[in-house]
Amino acid sequence: MEHKYLAKRYWADKPTAMGKSDVLARSFNDVINLSLGDPDMITPELIIDKAFADAKAGHTKYTDFRGEPEFRQEIAKFYKEEYGLDIPDEEIFVSTSGCIAMFLALEAVVNDGDEVILQGPYFTPYPGQVRLARGIPVEFPTYEEEDFQINCERLEEYITDKTRVLVINSPNNPAGSCLTLETMKNIAEIAEKHDLIVISDEIYTKFSFENEFIPFRSLPGMAERTITINSFSKNFVMTGWRIGNIIAPDYIIKVITQINEGVAFTAPSISQRAALHALRNRDIVQPPITEEFKKRMYYAAERINKIPNMHVIYPPKGSFYLFPSIKATGLSSQEVADKILMEAHVLTLPGNAFGQCGEGHLRLCCTVSVEKLKEAFDRIEKMDIFK
């Protein structure tokens, strides 16, 4: 909207489909909300109890600007134990959520007018975050018929003399895809060839169902040009704690630390303690979380593929999102999402909210129980457009 007290750069802005979802969820008193990646589970009690005890013991103050040293040590230990990687302490920064981590990373490396290639379909906030850093977002489309892999021959066609950053996300939100090792190696070659910075959004690492997750920075030559974004929101169902971290070359971390002084100063101390305990106890708390989401994903995918005019890649590859095609309905993503809400009282997001290549799809979050998913699909399959 236009208003003299609003910055003119926001006059033409419209809320995203994700931004409107909280309002839409209140459309009916029986809505089943499959729109947001906020699980129905609460954070494991073990993590809550230990964080609460630490708060009672005095962990309620500012921490070091890069994060509590003990927590940074635990992050480095995690990378060594899980992936055999040695991460120097000065390459670790603790952030107030993965979203702020992405903003800080872009702000640190993007010049005015630089182009940032986004792996599409992409997490809805990415383009806005690029513009906040005064960059130009460029959507690189991936497609269902290519298993949503990045076609590296086509990728090179999108690279110009203004291209500075490539943002990748695997396991992917919203497509649920996982980049293969071969694809990642091809991306690494392109990054070296064109001297690109790669920002790798790796917040769904425990939800890689077919293959063990591989950090992009672990590929040869990539540590010096990769910024890794992590979050505890999904892997540990800690969305409300707003805690994440960044792994990057030390000179980038120094700048990120300076920028963050005017953004969040330091990440919340209690959340840092919770995340520290999450890492230390991951072998206890994560397996049931991962298994539950895998069960939901497989159930939902099987139900989708039994509904006429709707299908999804099977078996699910990763994350806890499904991105079914609804092209056979002959309607747009927005039209189908609206019909499902109005007729079935199930809230989904239209695929075009995640980039132009998302048109013809819906995003469904498996963040409710199998019982709720059953009810949702029972309602949907009764609709005329799915008969």
Query: What is the model's pLDDT at position 16?
Result: 64
Query: What is the model's pLDDT at position 10?
Result: 85
CB 108 within 8 A of CB 259: yes
Q: Domain 8-43+284-386 has what CATH class?
A: alpha beta
Contacts of 1 (CB under 8 A, 6+ apart): 11
- Whether the ω angle into residue 171 lies within 30 degrees of 0, i.e. cis, is yes
Contacts of 192 (CB under 8 A, 6+ apart): 221, 225
216-232: pLDDT as tens digits: 999 999 999 999 999 99
The answer as to CATH 3.40.640.10 being correct for domain 45-282 is yes
Low-confidence ranges of the chain (pLDDT < 70): 15-25
Other Cβ atoms less than 10 A from the Cβ of 79: the count is: 19
Query: What is the model's pLDDT at position 112?
Result: 98
Measured torsion, CA atoms of residues 118, 361, 324, 207, in degrees rounded to the nearest 10: 20
Average pLDDT along the chain: 96
Q: What string of DSSP letters covers 103-167?
A: HHHHHHHPPTT-EEEEEES--TTHHHHHHHTT-EEEEEE--GGGTT---HHHHHHT--TTEEEEE
Q: What is the pTM of this model?
A: 0.95
Query: What is the model's pLDDT at position 28?
Result: 81
State the span(s) of the chain assigned CATH 3.40.640.10: 45-282
State the span(s) of the chain assigned CATH 3.90.1150.10: 8-43+284-386
Cα–Cα dist 47/273, whole Å:
9
